[in-house]
């Protein structure tokens, strides 16, 4: 199959500019009395080179938020800009192209292709984005995640933590505008999770990557520069970089019986 040549991004993000901007983002499922308001108007700017954790009780809208912010789902209303590009009116094809060339993804279940080598897995986003697979770049990102000698292995020959590091290398290989991570440490033990989180933190600090991570784990959220708490489809609270204990306290305030976004916020802000 012939691969198309890579297109230059039309609006590359200026250094220091916003990597992600959501304005008035709403997502409704269904209509009328049975409608579910999964997102009720999210306004958010994530600067380039920032690490944001998104927390919230089950059903608060975390997945919907991540899907809308990453162009995997379309908001019912509002605007999403990625790396300075408004994605609202984009065709599916252009959106897919943008996701492949300018976004990276890390999932709880690693999602590596078992029949490919580690190096081939890391090169996959480049191939899908129509870029020439750059083996030196693959070796560079694999070295960054401590797997410089594992390129010829199959995923099944690696531990869970190593597989997630391959997934991280794959997410970083195209130098994306944003890396979206969905419970990236959910399947890992504490020690291995800490290694992966340290690498994510390092990608932000050393490579100026922008990371948005959905997590249930206050320890994981403690690696982020900012923690957003979603409740009932709205941002109920935010914290700057904080200890896991402080983050867990805020989560408890949100999930306490009878807590609404407003009361949780009032309690947490005290």
CB 238 within 8 A of CB 264: no
Q: CB-wise, 58 or 91, nearer to ligand ADP?
A: 58
Q: Does 261 bind ligand ADP (CB under 6 A)?
A: no
Task: Work out how close the CB of 67 gets to ligand ADP at its nearest, in angstroms, rounded to a whole number.
Answer: 8
Task: Work out how close the CB of 56 gets to ligand ADP at its nearest, in angstroms, rounded to a whole number.
Answer: 5
Helix residue ranges, H only, 17-173: 62-69, 92-102, 118-128, 135-144, 160-172
User: Over 214-248, what HEC string results?
Assistant: ECCCHHHHCCCCEEEEEECCEEEEEEECCCHHHHH
Query: Which residue in the set 19, 20, 25, 38 belongs to the binding site for ligand ADP (CB under 6 A)?
Result: 38
DSSP state of 156: G
Q: Does 120 bind ligand ADP (CB under 6 A)?
A: no
DSSP state of 113: -
Q: CB-wise, 55 or 142, nearer to ligand ADP?
A: 55
Please give the C-alpha separations between residue 62 and each of 23, 38, 58, in angstroms, as whole numbers. 16, 9, 8
Task: Work out how close the CB of 66 gets to ligand ADP at its nearest, in angstroms, rounded to a whole number.
Answer: 8
CA distance 17 to 124: 28
Q: CB-wise, 44 or 158, nearer to ligand ADP?
A: 44
Q: CB-wise, 83 or 184, nearer to ligand ADP?
A: 184
Q: CB-wise, 30 or 114, nearer to ligand ADP?
A: 30
Backbone angles phi, psi at 73, to 5 degrees: -140, 155
Residues 51-70 close enough to bind ligand ADP by CB under 6 A: 56, 58-64
In DSSP notation, 55-71 reads: E--TTSSHHHHHHHHTT
Q: Does 215 bind ligand ADP (CB under 6 A)?
A: no
Q: CB-wise, 42 or 211, nearer to ligand ADP?
A: 42
Cα Rg, the chain, nearest whole Å: 19
Q: How many residues bind ligand ADP (CB under 6 A)?
A: 11
Task: Work out how close the CB of 232 gets to ligand ADP at its nearest, in angstroms, rounded to a whole number.
Answer: 9
Task: Work out how close the CB of 29 gets to ligand ADP at its nearest, in angstroms, rounded to a whole number.
Answer: 3
Torsion of CA 176, 182, 185, 186, to 10 degrees: -160
Q: CB-wise, 53 or 141, nearer to ligand ADP?
A: 53
DSSP state of 7: P
Q: Residues interacting with ligand ADP, by CB under 6 A?
A: 29, 36, 38, 56, 58-64
């Amino acid at each position: 199959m012939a691969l198309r040549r890579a297109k230059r991004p039309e609006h590359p993000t200026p250094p220091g500019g916003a990597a992600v901007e959501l304005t008035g983002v709403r997502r409704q499922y269904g209509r009328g009395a049975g409608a579910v308001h999964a997102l009720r108007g999210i306004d958010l700017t994530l600067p380039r080179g920032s690490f944001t954790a998104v927390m919230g009780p089950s059903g608060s809208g975390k997945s919907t938020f991540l899907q809308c912010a990453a162009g995997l789902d379309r908001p019912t209303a509002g605007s999403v800009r990625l790396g300075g590009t408004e994605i609202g009116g984009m065709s599916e094809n252009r959106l897919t192209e943008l996701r492949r060339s300018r976004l990276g993804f890390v999932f709880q279940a690693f999602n590596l292709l078992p029949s490919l080598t580690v190096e081939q897995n890391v090169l996959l986003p480049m191939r899908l984005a129509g870029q020439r697979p750059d083996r030196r770049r693959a070796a560079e990102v694999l070295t960054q995640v401590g797997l410089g000698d594992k390129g010829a292995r199959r995923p099944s020959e690696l531990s869970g933590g190593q597989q997630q590091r391959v997934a991280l290398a794959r997410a970083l290989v195209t130098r994306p505008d944003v890396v979206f991570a969905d419970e990236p440490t959910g399947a890992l033990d504490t020690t291995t999770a800490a290694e992966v989180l340290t690498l994510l933190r390092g990608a932000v600090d050393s490579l100026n990557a922008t990371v948005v991570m959905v997590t249930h784990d206050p320890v994981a959220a403690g690696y982020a520069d900012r923690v957003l708490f979603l409740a009932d489809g709205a941002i109920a609270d935010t914290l700057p970089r904080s200890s896991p204990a402080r983050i867990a306290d805020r989560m408890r305030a949100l999930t306490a019986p009878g807590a609404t976004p407003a009361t949780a916020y009032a309690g947490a802000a005290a």
